[in-house]
């Protein structure tokens, strides 16, 4: 019997207990019931259950195009010394999770180029979330049943990243954050307008699916509002104090006619292969769907938010004031930073960084010959007309020029560049009043346009030009666009790797990119360099402010005062940013945490490699595996250093 047990472990890489988990997941667990918001049945609903045996599950492969599916590596039998069994089981798990996730998340399926669910929106009832959590736990059990040591290095990396992906989804899901399905500048309602702006139906069927999805919006909104009502009953709500800015955006989505909405745009841009009769028909039913379904759904949400929800919203600010709030915030800290760190430790790091950056800012104030205090210099920057564009076109033109200058510098700093282009666009008008100064909006690789670097042209006297270079490098290149586009172009990796986001890496890289602009020679004046330091100071302040708000009892006014007095950000941006931190606990911690780790790794590589250090190879190493937790990033840089020394 012991011999049999050893042989099973040797051949499969799975313990007997682990094998039992696999058998149970295929035989005992009932067929997965998946519900979605839809107006009709689809053949895709017949997708074979995750609980079916391997040979049956394999028959469903035609549902997912090869381009988007996970893959079983061609060198499968060379990857382990055990007839490939552990890696086969690993990739079967990846494929199972992908098939389920695409079905559970129709919008993701559309982005991935899987069009079986284009007419659907996800169902978001409490039962749906409970089912997804249960399924994630099964996936994690199946993963842990695989002996990681029997995998080669590249598959150990996939194993580790999948574990991180599942572990944090499970850790956060138990707090049921879906009871607050919106932020200060985003949410389920805004996600629909983003979808409409990036949709590009090409065929009659595409348009029919688009209209079906429009018709599903009221149910999607009703489910989200029901979740918010549950949050009201359980004292898990958005803080009342930040409602003003959100209400402005909500009122901006009270459209009077279909043509005013972003949802109508596809009906003004038909492809040439759609004949006139179909154009008329589709426009008519599309306009009807928007007028009778979409516009009333947004109106109902605005009434609910400004009335019932606002009345019941909590009067506290911090996440730790929520039920089980301390554990919730601790889980958020670990998720967004990807490391085992406490709020108190991050608060202290933030204070030290604020002091360090302040010294550098004082040096530039002396350099420009300004006579006055730090506060007076900040007041000068915030009020002098020379630092502000006079028209939206002027601001967009300046941002475009900076971005193009950065484009030209990239080959000296990167060996691999993405193929997808990007453009500079204004923040959509209805979002702009409560939006940040800029944002990156990604696009699918097979879409009709590239990524977009959004610049906020609302309240021009609050959009200083001295921070525009730093903003452009962060949001466009070498920041978010370069990094996100490279992730999409990762060759032959499991699909979850292209969808996974490590906030600490993504935002840390974008902040690193701002300072990289100093080496690239893109900050032309002392005021531009002060703008770069202002943005770095802003992220250092985030460590202090986020932990202050959510773990140390800070007030909103206290957070605003701290950020305003330590940076040259406009006071309008200070207000919108603090509200963002209130609504999104922990996310603000990712930026400085990731940036500091990247600079630490660069310093290590530079010191150990000496003349062998190549900045392009270093940057390519950072990006070769996509968006990764910081611990894995450090391991990959160590391998790069070792290989470079050996060569």
User: Residues 27-65: pLDDT tens digits?
Assistant: 333 333 334 565 433 322 333 233 333 432 333 232 233
| β strands within 395-540, DSSP E | 422-426, 438-441, 451-455
In a domain, 606, yes or no: no
How is residue 370 written in tokens? Answer: 């300004």
**Tokens 């996440």 sit on residue:** 319
* Residue 627 belongs to a domain: no
User: What would the mean pLDDT of 505-528 be, rounded to a whole number?
Assistant: 98
- Reduce the DSSP state of residue 565 to 3 states and report it: helix
Tell me: do 66 and 90 sit in the same domain.
yes
Q: What is the mean pLDDT of residues 208-214?
A: 98
Does residue 626 lie within any of the structural domains? no
Q: Which of 196-200, 306-310, 480-484 is least confident?
A: 196-200
Going by C-alpha positions, the residue among 472, 447, 480 that lies closest to residue 531 is: 472
The answer to whether the beta carbons of residues 121 and 39 sit under 8 Å apart is no
Model confidence band, residue 186 (pLDDT cutoffs 50, 70, 90): very high
* 428: DSSP letter: P
Which of these three, 315, 340, 360, is where a domain ends?
A: 315
Query: Do the domain assignments include residue 618?
Result: no
Determine contact, residues 58/91, Cβ cutoff 8 Å. Answer: no
Say if residue 568 is in the same domain as residue 454: yes
- With a pLDDT cut of 70, the percent of the chain lying above it is 87
Domain shared by 143 and 211, yes or no: no
Residues 427 and 385 in one domain: yes
What pLDDT, on a 0 to 100 scale, did the predictor assign at position 313?
98
In a domain, 214, yes or no: yes
pLDDT tens-place string over residues 71-94: 455 455 445 444 447 888 999 999
Domain range for 15: 2-174
Exposed e or buried b per residue across 107-138, where buried means at least 16 C-beta atoms within 10 angstroms of its C-beta: bbbbbbebebbbbbbbbbeeebbebbeebbeb
Q: Are residues 467 and 571 in the same domain?
A: yes
Concatenating the DSSP letter of every residue in 529-556 gives HHHHHHHHHHHHHHHHHHHHHHHS---H
Look at residues 257, 285, 315 and tell me which one is the last residue of a structural domain: 315
In a domain, 363, yes or no: yes
Express each pLDDT in 400-411 by its tens digit: 999 999 999 999
338, 416: one domain? yes
**Cis omega (within 30 of 0) for bond into 478:** yes
The answer to whether 505 and 594 have CB atoms below 8 angstroms apart is: yes
Q: Do 406 and 430 lie in a common domain? A: yes
DSSP state of 290: I
Is 487 in the same domain as 341? yes
166 assigned to some structural domain: yes
> What residues have CB less than 8 Å from 353, skipping those under 6 apart?
540, 543, 592, 596
pTM, 2 dp: 0.87
Q: Are residues 456 and 525 in the same domain?
A: yes
Once rounded to an integer, what is the mean pLDDT over residues 61-70?
36
Asked if the structure places residue 490 within a domain, the reply is yes
101 and 196: one domain? no
Q: Are 237 and 314 in contact (CB under 8 A)?
A: yes
20 and 155 in a common domain: yes
Of the given ranges (166-170, 402-406, 428-432), which has the lowest mean pLDDT? 428-432
How much is the pLDDT for 36? 58
Count up the domains in the chain and report the number.
3
Q: CA-to-CA distance for 120 and 214, rounded, in angstroms?
A: 9
Do 306 and 332 share a domain, yes or no?
Answer: no
The domain boundary residue, chosen from 147, 174, 201? 174
């Amino acid at each position: 019997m012991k011999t049999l047990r050893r042989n099973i472990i040797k051949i499969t890489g799975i313990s007997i207990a682990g094998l039992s988990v696999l058998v149970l997941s295929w035989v005992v667990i009932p067929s997965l019931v998946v519900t979605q918001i839809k107006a009709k049945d689809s053949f895709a609903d017949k997708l074979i259950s995750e609980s079916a045996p391997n040979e049956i599950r394999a028959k469903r492969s035609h549902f997912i195009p090869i381009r988007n599916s996970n893959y079983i590596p061609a060198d499968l039998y060379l990857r382990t010394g055990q007839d490939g069994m552990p890696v086969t089981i690993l990739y079967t798990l990846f494929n199972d999770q992908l098939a389920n996730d695409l079905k559970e998340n129709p919008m993701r399926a559309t982005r991935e180029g899987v069009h079986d669910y284009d007419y659907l929106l996800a169902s978001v009832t409490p039962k749906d979330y409970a089912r997804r959590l249960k399924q994630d736990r099964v996936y994690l059990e199946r993963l842990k049943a695989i002996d990681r040591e029997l995998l080669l290095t590249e598959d150990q990396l996939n194993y580790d990243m999948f574990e991180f992906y599942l572990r944090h989804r499970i850790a956060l899901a138990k707090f049921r954050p879906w009871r607050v399905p919106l932020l200060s500048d985003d949410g389920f309602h805004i996600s629909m307008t983003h979808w409409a702006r990036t949709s590009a139906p090409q065929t009659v069927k595409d348009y029919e699916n688009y209209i079906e999805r429009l018709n599903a919006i009221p149910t999607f909104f009703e489910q989200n509002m029901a979740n918010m009502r549950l949050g009201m009953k359980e004292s898990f709500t958005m803080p009342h104090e930040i409602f003003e800015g959100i209400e402005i955006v909500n009122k901006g989505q009270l459209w009077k006619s279909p043509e005013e909405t972003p949802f109508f745009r596809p009906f003004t841009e038909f492809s040439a292969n759609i004949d006139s009769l179909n154009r008329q028909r589709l426009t008519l039913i599309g306009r009807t769907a928007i007028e009778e379904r979409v516009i009333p759904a947004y109106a109902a949400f605005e009434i609910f938010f400004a009335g019932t929800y606002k009345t019941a919203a909590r009067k506290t600010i911090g996440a730790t004031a929520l039920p089980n709030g301390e554990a919730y915030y601790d889980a958020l800290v670990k998720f967004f930073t990807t490391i085992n760190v406490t709020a108190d430790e991050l608060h202290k790091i933030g204070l030290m960084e604020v002091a360090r950056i302040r010294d550098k800012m004082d040096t530039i104030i002396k350099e420009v010959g300004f006579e006055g205090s730090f506060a007076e210099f900040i007041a000068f920057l915030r009020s002098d007309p020379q630092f502000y564009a006079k028209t939206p076109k002027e601001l967009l033109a300046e941002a475009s020029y900076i971005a193009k200058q950065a484009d030209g510098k990239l080959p000296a700093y990167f060996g691999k560049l993405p193929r997808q282009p990007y453009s500079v666009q204004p923040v959509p008008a209805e979002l702009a009043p409560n939006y940040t100064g800029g944002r990156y909006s990604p696009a699918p690789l097979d879409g009709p346009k590239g990524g977009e670097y959004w610049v906020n042209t609302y309240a021009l006297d609050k959009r200083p030009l001295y921070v525009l270079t730093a903003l452009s490098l962060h949001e466009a290149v070498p920041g978010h666009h370069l990094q996100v586009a490279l992730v999409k172009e990762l060759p032959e990796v499991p699909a979850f790797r292209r969808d996974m986001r490590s906030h600490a890496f993504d935002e840390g890289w974008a902040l690193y990119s701002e300072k990289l602009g100093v080496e690239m020679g893109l900050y032309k004046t002392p005021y531009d360099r002060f703008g770069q330091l202002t943005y770095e100071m802003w992220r250092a302040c985030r460590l202090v402010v986020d932990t202050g708000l959510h773990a140390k009892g800070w007030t909103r006014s206290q957070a605003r005062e701290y950020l305003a007095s330590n940076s040259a950000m406009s006071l309008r941006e200070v207000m919108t940013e603090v509200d963002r931190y209130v609504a999104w606990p922990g996310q603000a911690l990712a930026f400085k945490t990731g940036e500091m780790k990247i600079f630490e790794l660069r310093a290590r590589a530079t010191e150990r490699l000496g003349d062998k250090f190549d900045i392009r190879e270093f940057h390519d190493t950072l990006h070769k595996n996509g968006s990764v937790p910081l611990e894995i990033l450090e391991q990959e840089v160590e391998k790069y250093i070792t290989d470079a020394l050996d060569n």
